[in-house]
């Protein structure tokens, strides 16, 4: 019987000692935190192969860190945003080839409230829309490229966007579109 008490007492002492050792442990005993590895936008495939996060930031002044793409028939898309929030985001869609000319593009594909833009592709438009739902306003630029592709960039702001932000994005998004415009090759 006495041996049982000795074993029980020894187990209790070892248990208490282990608790004391944990309390004295410093942060060097803990595992390092694990971060997410940033993948290039192009790794998402689809239209994402046409740009990178640094390229986007250099043109529009907004930093993104995650991308997703899709392909339906001859239309490829890419959306970039930040890991921490839904907005802002930037979407690109590219229709591989079209028979449309500039006149048809402006007559049939340009939204009714859009403004015609000069100096981008064969024909282009810009459409600004007000905030709706959970997001802020949007700026959309669509164009018929020199390579006969239909391309659209759409920047969606967070709900906290100010009118000055939208005005600046009109110019910045146009600069991005011009940098991405494909030529007949």
pLDDT at 157: 98
| Distance from the Cα of residue 133 to its chain's centroid | 19
Between CA 111 and CA 117, with CA 115 as vertex, the angle to 5 degrees is 115
Distance of CA 12 to the CA centre of its chain: 56
Task: State the average pLDDT for the chain.
Answer: 84
pLDDT digits (tens, 9 = 90+) for 48-66: 999 999 999 999 999 999 9
Rounded to the nearest angstrom, the gap between the alpha carbon of residue 73 and the centroid of all alpha carbons in its chain is: 22
When pLDDT is cut at 50, 70 and 90, the band that residue 40 belongs to is confident
What domains, with CATH codes, occur in the chain?
41-180 (3.40.1000)
This prediction has a pTM of 0.78
Q: For 132-174, how does the pLDDT look when each residue is reduced to its tens digit (9 = 90+)? A: 989 999 999 999 999 999 999 999 999 999 999 999 999 999 9
Query: Which two three-digit tokens encode residue 115?
Result: 């403004």
The residue among 61 and 30 whose pLDDT is bigger is 61
**What pLDDT band is residue 39 in, cutting at 50, 70 and 90?**
confident
**Other CB atoms within 10 A of residue 2 CB:** 6
């Amino acid at each position: 019987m006495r041996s049982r008490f000795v074993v029980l007492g020894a187990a209790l002492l070892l248990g208490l000692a282990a608790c004391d050792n944990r309390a004295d442990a410093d942060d060097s005993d803990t595992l390092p935190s694990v971060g997410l590895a940033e993948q290039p936008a192009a790794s998402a495939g689809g239209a994402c192969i046409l740009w990178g996060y640094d390229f986007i930031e250099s043109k529009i002044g907004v930093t993104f860190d995650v991308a997703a793409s899709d392909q339906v028939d001859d239309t490829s898309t890419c959306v970039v945003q930040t890991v921490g929030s839904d907005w802002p985001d930037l979407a690109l869609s590219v229709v591989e080839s079209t028979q449309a000319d500039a006149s048809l593009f402006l007559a049939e594909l340009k939204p009714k409230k859009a403004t015609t833009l000069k100096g981008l592709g064969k024909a282009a438009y810009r459409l600004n829309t007000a905030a709706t739902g959970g997001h802020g306003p949007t700026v959309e630029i669509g164009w018929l490229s020199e390579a006969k592709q239909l391309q659209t960039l759409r920047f969606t702001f967070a709900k906290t966007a100010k009118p000055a932000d939208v005005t600046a994005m009109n110019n910045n998004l146009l600069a991005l579109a011009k940098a991405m415009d494909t030529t007949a090759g």
